[in-house]
Chain A
Amino acid sequence: MGGCGMALGAYTIEDLWRGGHYGLRMGFRNDGPRELGPFSIEAAWYETGVVPSSVVHCKLCPHECLLDENDRGFCRTRVVKKGKLYSIAYGNPCLVHIDPIEKKPMAHFLPGTPILSLATAGCNMRCLNCQNWEISQAKPEATESVYLPPEKLVSISVERGFPSIAYTYSEPIIFYEYMRDTARLAKSRNVRNVLVTAGYILEKPCEELCQWIDGANVDIKAFNEATYKKLCETTLKPVLKGLEVMRKAGVWIEITRLIVPEFSDDMDDIRAMCRWIADNLGKDTPLHFSRFYPTYKLPFTPLTSAETLIRAREVAKGEGLNYVYIGNLPESQGQDTVCPKCRKPVIRREGFQVLENRLQNGQCPCGNAIAGVWS
């Protein structure tokens, strides 16, 4: 009995409740790589000693992982070694492609130009419908990657004449340090920076990043917490907060909403989202509705019907949004930029190609200014 009491006494009730010293918190316990590789750099946003029972408190994204020695963050790219947090994929992207900017999708940002797009492995979301799960749900050291430090990346885009760089594919927030240094350098050499993200980031890092970012395409997966939880294992609130921060900093924002049947195809939900966008980001914010194709852990969900997408566009227009696009649906005329005043197409597109651009100095021939980054 004594031993039992002793054991229980030493083991406080709170510890029992919270899983003791090393409970089930965010992140991968004891999963760090053998040694820090050459692509490691001390992480930017973290604190030590705040929570007494943990070594490191990551302050980059709203997961706010509490990590101990040799733990790996939820995003798989942050590791604690000797009491410090390291980002382990610095200058080491596993994907570098040149895409048309329409593929990001960005409709009001230098249309018709190529964009240098890159990503490292890892992600702070767990979307069931991830298109890039091969890299987003992998560890950086497990993918085939190239060495591409910020200087080299920027000089490539300057030499080969790419007007902008996109941080995309997986989730750029998780290679924050790499993106920050590249973006800073690119800005100084007149190359634009485009962030393609799910926007799951804390306020302060977002504020810092916005100094160098010119455009952002932010995914809103749904407009209710339940779907966010079910589909992505994250929450909606920080995404909206991040969008407000970006808006305040003057970043050009476009929104993407992928419509997954049975998950995020509710029209009331879409209406609520459009209302929020119109109220908080402005009616000129472009909104892209995207068609779902069966992927990753949702191979048995059928693709979104054209009717749903068209209905969603009508809902968005009804809420006063001026520029609403439909992606992944070749048969629709959903990709043209239509002047809200004269109702004529200003930029005609097919697929990822611009067929005709009648824009002059950011204005429709009818004289109405079209919001966007045009030059």
Chain B
Amino acid sequence: MRSSIPLCVIWLGFSAVVVQVVLLRELLCLFSGNELVTGIVFGNWLLLTAAGSFLARFSSSVSKPLFWQSILLTILSLIAPLELCGLRYCRLFMDTGLVLGFDRVFLVSLLVLLPYCLVSGFLLTFFSTTFKTSSEKLHPVGQLYLMDTIGGALGGVIFGLFFTAYLSPFQSLFVLASLSCLASAMLSITGLKSKQRLLSLGLSAAVLTASVALACTGKVEQTTLSWFMKAQQLVEYRHTPYGTLSVFKEGKQFNFFENGIPTASTNDLISAESAVHFAMAQHPAPRNVLLVSGGLTGAYLELTKYPSVQNIDYVELDPAVIETTEKYVGKDPRVHAIVRDARQFISSKHSAYDVVVMSLPDPVNTQLNRYYTQEFFALVKNALSDGGVFGFQVSGAANYLNPGDRLFLASIRRALSASFSHIIFIPGSRIEVVASSAPLSLQIPELLAWRGIKAKYVNSSYVSSLLTPDRLSAIDKAVMQPAGSNTDFSPVGVYAHLTRWTEQFGGGLLAPSSLVLLIVTCMLALILCQPQRTVSFALSTTAFAGMGLQLVLLIAFQAYFGILYQQVGVLIASFLFGGAIGTYTANRPGARAAPGFFSVDLLMLVTAVCCAGIFSWTGFSPVATQFGLVLFPLLNAWTGFLVGAQFPLAARLLPCLPSAMTSTAGRLIALDLMGASAGAFLLSTFFIPAVGVIHVCFFLAFIKAISSLMTYLRMRRPEPDVMAVAPALGIRDMSFFVLASIFIFEGALIIDPGTSTGIYAVSFLPGYHAVLLILVGLGIVSAMDLTAVNEAYSKRFGAIKQSAERLFQLTGIRLSQWIYFAVFSVVLFFPIFKCYFQVPYLFCHVCPRKCPFGFLRPYIIPAALIMNLSKRTWCFHYCPVGTLQSCRSRNIHKAARIALRAVAVLILGVTVFSYFKINSDVQSAFKFNNDWYIALFRNNYDTSVWVLIIAGAILLISLFLPRIFCHGICPVGTFSALIQAGEKKTEGRLQSENE
């Protein structure tokens, strides 16, 4: 048993990495594989695993941990293939070929990944309950992490070497499942007793048989793939190290899908001709031609139409694509297929080609963006002979260019103009870009006719309708607008493309940025509620920076050397192995925790600065060819080493009682993963595309500088007593941050023009209103405090009551408050963010266009007042504002309270006065323009900056002054408080009279 649990942890790490890669690939097939989608999916994965490990803190009280661990291990092996099935099954619900927006990508990936990630994260922390170290001096949490990291590193390497080459996705998962069953069986044989052992072994045996059988038949793969296209026939499916390649047939036409995205079709004359002829027409006698990708459209057959062409080099990364091309499109003796990364290939050539034709997808991610950067264009220029021509296509618009399109085209033009003096853009839904150092002509049909090339599409009949003066001037205007050049280290092209993608769905970047806000808030909350905030902060920022540096190094490596998939694998493996070595080193018995922790932090800062220095040193790129192949894996391993080393040190620094092992492990793993998740999402999708690689390095260095400083200051302080650590900011602060972030998130949704109408419409859904009313009714019932009802309630729903109490202990907020906050917050906060009047909430009955609050006000306010009659139930149990404010309630100075109360009474007076005044005004003659409140009417449904500032100020002040809104502003609260005070006085008098 002693050795079987570490083995199981290693196995868990191993299988998690493999499943992650398999499911990530599949998810990218389902959605369009751009940088944002990758970021969301990867971020979700880490976030969910973090949640799983955090939740495992409740597992410490489980009675038979070993039994449940072996069962969970078997279940986990079942979940992965089921999720893959589910992913493919999603296609049946989706309309074929439909691209999904941000919200769907987020939700679908969240739901699909949820079971596996939660269980695997949970299980990892759960193992800490039974985990025993070989020596007393080794920290168990660190050792657990070490085993997991070793497993992950092995998984990465073995997947890259073995799984991708020989197994299809389902086979990989079934192989994993069978091995998981064996691991579970090992666990139950070594550690369990008769009955439990039998049960657990039986389950594993059943799953094992099923998965071996399914892996052998291969039917699952075929069936699930056929869900991909309903009416078309799947002819071929190949699984290559670079992804999947499938061929569908419709009539005589073959459609080729790479990673689920249709890249080409046979019989697509328009694509084939426009890829080739716009560029080829410009050269008087092209002899050597380079075709970068695009063989599947049949582009090289178009090239062979030119009699002067002697040699066509056709570069493709994936040998499977070349084989497919030769099978379905045809061969030509002049074509020489070369399997190599195009960028690397081009950099090895000098003055070798007359024409370079490139046919690649848009720069949706940094990998593809390498073919659209200033550096790449310089390489192409170098590979071209004098007067050579370079042609490629990007997505455009049939008639009207959006701001996103314009930014993209302008950044491409900037990048091109550094190397080429003549550039033309041919408008259309695919925009043809032709660049050369020699003059170019727009008389393309005439040039082709003069050369005797017969084209069916690129001729005057079609093309002249594209080359009209009005269309040409529109595209000229677009490309000449100011924009940053698209470079390797500052991928503006990716950013522009993401802008374009979000434009299709409306709402702009609001939804992604709110998600970032949510992740960061959760992370801050988790850090703040820890006993050792500095350690937690440093740990999660190290994970963040580690993820960031890894991304940055990958981008830089690809930029310097071209993409070599195996070497990228080496790079990632070196990070993981570096991590394992780091953890091992730092978890040795002799290592001193505090200085070690600080020096790791400092070294991370130094590494980030060094990376920035290397990338901004222009002289590096020639040096890179000699050193880089060693330097980059070393740098990556070093980063991994630092990330890995900090974890066990943090585990030692945290006060850890043997009884609280699980919660410490869960908390630390969650912090680590949350940091990495934020890094994956924030950096890859926003920071790197928007500000560039070098600035990101400096940003990471800045964050590490803060954490190093904090760590240093902490080290100087005397060691805190392990037992007496009580957080200054408690669990309630976490709740406050979560609630405040929900508040801000809702505000952003209401203000943003892309989502405001949507949320407005949703706030009037009949079902929503019904829920509101039911909750109001329930609130009134509970406020009446009927003993009979209460008894019946506790009898029937005792379990709920218990868990509600648990929640209250945990978060400082009652279950009812959470529910009412979730449901009522939109309604109650609406007028803060958008209102027709300068003063929200006050003039609802004369409002020309009511918001949900204005509409529900006549019901909610009386109901709240009724509830408040007994012990101010509404204020203390249900009101969302009260919930937000009560998170931080502490004692308040008496003088302040009296002052606040005076203001509040004043506000109450104004409210009551205006309510009755307006009521009587409305009942008298209608004279809207002369009314007394017209000065406060904005005649425009919009956001008031002043209201927002005041709301923000109240939110900030409530961090220090408790219940500032409730005591100082809220008329409902004040009214109820006055009544309550009156009641108390009467009661007191009655009591004294009685006595």
Contacts and interface: CB of A to CB of B under 8 A. Distances in A.
Interface in B764-793: 764-766, 769-770, 773, 776-777, 780-781, 784
A78 B268 CA distance: 41
Contact of B98 (A10, A298, A305): A298
Contact of B766 (A2, A18, A31, A301): A18
Given A11-B859, A22-B850, A299-B97, A96 B764 contact: no
Interface stretch (A42-50, A125-133, A192-200): A125-133
Interface in B376-420: 397-402, 405
B855 A134 contact: no
Given A30-B757, A169-B399, A297-B98, A68 B465 contact: no
A262 B231 contact: yes
B863 A131 contact: no
Given A3-B866, A132-B400, A297-B98, A302 B766 contact: no
B986 interface: no
Interface stretch (B305-313, B453-461, B519-527, B961-969): B453-461
A352 B97 contact: no
Contacts of B766: 15-20, 23
Given A11-B773, A20-B769, A353 B470 contact: no
Given A11-B773, A308-B251, A96 B99 contact: no
Interface string B855-866: 100110011001
A307 B262 contact: no
B719 interface: no
Given A294-B262, A302-B248, A265 B461 contact: no
Contact of A143 (B253, B400, B460, B471): B400
A20 B862 contact: no
A362 interface: no
A132 B267 CA distance: 25
B253 A307 contact: yes
A260 to B, nearest CB: 9
B913 interface: no
A355 B461 CA distance: 9
Nearest to A100: B465
B456 A306 contact: no
A94 interface: yes
Contacts of B784: 1
Interface in A42-74: 68-72
Contacts of A29: 757, 760-761, 764
Interface string B929-954: 00000000000111000000000000
Interface string A1-42: 111101110110001111111111000111110110000000
A145 to B, nearest CB: 10
B269 interface: yes
Nearest to A32: B941
Interface string B589-616: 0000000000000000000000000000
B974 interface: no
B702 interface: no
Interface string A343-368: 00000011111010000000000000
A16 B859 CA distance: 14
Contacts of B468: 97-99
B442 interface: no
Nearest to A82: B848
Interface in B454-479: 456-457, 459-462, 464-465, 468, 470-471
Contacts of B457: 330, 351
Contact of B855 (A22, A34, A103): A22
B513 interface: no
A303 B761 contact: no
Contacts of B250: 261, 302, 305, 307-308
A295 interface: yes
Contacts of A374: none
Chain A facing B: main interface SS: loop
B96 A297 contact: no
A69 B848 contact: yes
Counting chain A residues whose Cβ lies within 8 A of the other chain, the interface size class is: 35 or more
A249 interface: no
A95 B816 CA distance: 55
Contact of B252 (A23, A305, A330, A331): A305
A296 interface: yes
Contacts of A265: 231
B625 interface: no
Interface in B243-285: 248, 250-253, 255, 257, 260-262, 265, 267-270, 273
A98 to B, nearest CB: 6
B504 interface: yes
Contacts of B397: 132, 134
A263 B229 CA distance: 11
B231 A68 contact: no
Nearest to B781: A1
Contacts of A16: 766, 769-770
Counting chain B residues whose Cβ lies within 8 A of the other chain, the interface size class is: 35 or more
Contacts of A23: 764-766
A2 B252 CA distance: 73
Contacts of B825: none
B849 interface: yes
Interface string B493-526: 0000000000110100000000000000000000
A134 B397 CA distance: 8
A70 B776 contact: no
Interface in A319-350: 328, 330-331, 349-350
Interface in A220-260: 230
B441 interface: no
B621 interface: no
A94 B397 CA distance: 14
Contacts of A119: 399
B59 interface: no
B32 A22 contact: no
Contacts of A103: 465
Interface in A272-331: 293-303, 305-308, 311, 328, 330-331
A131 B738 CA distance: 42
B400 A134 contact: yes
B359 to A, nearest CB: 15
A132 B398 contact: yes
A202 interface: no
Given A11-B769, A297-B98, A308-B251, A4 B780 contact: yes
Residue among B268, B461, B834, B859 with most chain A CB within 10 A: B461
B866 A302 contact: no
Contact of B262 (A3, A4, A100, A301): A301
B251 A307 contact: yes
Given A1-B784, A4-B780, A350 B459 contact: yes
A135 interface: yes
Residue among A71, A97, A265 with most chain B CB within 10 A: A97
A135 to B, nearest CB: 5
Nearest to A133: B504
Contacts of B251: 305-308, 311
A353 B399 contact: no
Interface string B877-915: 000000000000000000000000000000000000000
B464 to A, nearest CB: 7
Given A134-B405, A263-B95, A330 B267 contact: no
Contacts of A131: 398-399, 429
Interface string B831-849: 0001000000000000011
Contacts of B97: 261-262, 294, 298-302
Given A262-B229, A349-B461, 19 more contacts: A2-B866, A4-B781, A10-B859, A11-B773, A15-B766, A21-B764, A21-B850, A70-B941, A94-B400, A97-B471, A261-B231, A261-B250, A265-B231, A300-B261, A302-B97, A305-B251, A311-B251, A330-B269, A350-B459
10 contacts: A3-B776, A23-B764, A23-B765, A30-B757, A31-B756, A31-B757, A131-B429, A134-B400, A306-B267, A331-B269
